């Protein structure tokens, strides 16, 4: 038992000695880089739904509407790689008030619009050709990765400036970076109002039909610099 205690004390002494080694003089700061950009493409999610007493009837109605919508999309100039079906369903539902069954056919699609100026014309055309629900519209930027890279550089520059400010007060200088941590969160569109003219209105006044907003790319880093 005494031997085990002596071994344990020896191990603890070694651990404390290692932790009590010479500390590296350093300064740790957070840096932030922000860039805002206007989206240049939109991703629309929309659907076609029909309800009726017979399964084959509602499916046929949905298929005919979808065929019409797809033909419109192609005629509108959207590439086949920029739209796709995301859900197809045919459900049987019991109606408690009539004590009868009804059927509901649904098909959902997503579409990428690379020219936002055509948004109004696209949406009106989709509605006129058979869709009855627009689930979501998300605005994105094709330059997002380039903007992220630029924001990272701004964040590092911001961290370096802060470290230099701290060290300068102490009449010291910063050396090489000892560690860098990325604390950034996922980037989501930040919607803000934009004004668009509606050509269908006879009035010359601009009508707000789309809140395209801006995307803010925000990068946060934690950097430790050696203090010279």
Q: According to the model, what pLDDT value does residue 163 have?
A: 96
Per the prediction, the chain carries an average pLDDT of 83
Yes or no: say if 154 and 35 are a contact pair by the CB < 8 Å rule. Answer: yes
Q: According to the model, what pLDDT value does residue 214 have?
A: 86
Q: What percent of the chain has pLDDT over 90?
A: 71
The reply to whether the predicted model has a pTM over 0.85 is no
Q: According to the model, what pLDDT value does residue 133 have?
A: 92
* Nearest Cα residue to 141 out of 207, 215, 211: 215
* pLDDT at residue 206 tops 70: no
* Nearest Cα residue to 121 out of 210, 215, 22, 226: 210
The DSSP result for 23-46, as a single string, is PPPEEEEEEEEEEEE---EEEEEE
Yes or no: say if 88 and 171 are a contact pair by the CB < 8 Å rule. Answer: no
For the stretch 112-161, pLDDT in tens is 999 999 999 999 999 999 999 999 999 999 999 999 999 999 999 999 99
Q: According to the model, what pLDDT value does residue 168 have?
A: 95
Which value, to the nearest 10 degrees, does the dihedral of the CA atoms of residues 183, 189, 193, 199 take? 160
Output 204 or 87, whichever has higher pLDDT. Answer: 87
Residues 6+ apart with CB under 8 A from 107: 47, 48, 62, 66, 85, 87, 88, 89
79 vs 197: CA distance, rounded Å: 26
* pLDDT at residue 41 tops 70: yes
Q: What stretches of the chain show up as alpha helix (H) in DSSP?
A: 2-19, 55-76, 119-128, 144-169
Q: According to the model, what pLDDT value does residue 189 have?
A: 53
Q: According to the model, what pLDDT value does residue 22 have?
A: 75
Output 78 or 18, whichever has higher pLDDT. Answer: 78
Q: According to the model, what pLDDT value does residue 151 have?
A: 96
Which value, to the nearest 10 degrees, does the dihedral of the CA atoms of residues 127, 129, 133, 138 take? -70
For the stretch 64-85, pLDDT in tens is 999 999 999 999 999 999 999 9
């Amino acid at each position: 038992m005494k031997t085990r205690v002596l071994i344990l004390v020896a191990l603890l002494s070694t651990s404390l000695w290692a932790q009590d080694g010479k500390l590296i003089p350093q300064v740790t700061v957070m840096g932030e880089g922000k860039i805002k950009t206007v989206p240049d493409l939109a991703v629309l999610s929309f659907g076609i739904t029909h309800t009726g007493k017979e399964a084959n009837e509602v499916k046929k109605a949905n298929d005919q509407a979808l065929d019409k919508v797809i033909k419109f999309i192609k005629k509108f100039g959207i590439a086949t790689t920029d739209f796709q079906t995301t859900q197809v369903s045919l459900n049987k539902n019991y109606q408690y008030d009539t004590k009868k069954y009804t059927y509901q056919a649904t098909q959902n699609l997503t579409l990428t619009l690379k020219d936002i100026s055509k948004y109004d014309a696209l949406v009106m055309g989709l509605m006129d050709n058979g869709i009855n629900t627009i689930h979501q519209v998300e605005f994105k930027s094709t330059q997002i990765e380039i903007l992220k890279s630029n924001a990272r550089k701004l964040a590092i520059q911001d961290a370096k400036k802060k470290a230099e400010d701290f060290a300068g007060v102490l009449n010291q200088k910063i050396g090489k970076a000892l560690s860098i941590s990325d604390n950034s969160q996922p980037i989501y569109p930040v919607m803000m109002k934009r004004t668009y003219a509606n050509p269908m209105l006879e009035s010359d006044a601009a009508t707000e039909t789309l809140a395209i907003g801006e995307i803010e790319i925000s990068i946060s880093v934690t950097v430790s610099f050696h203090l010279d």
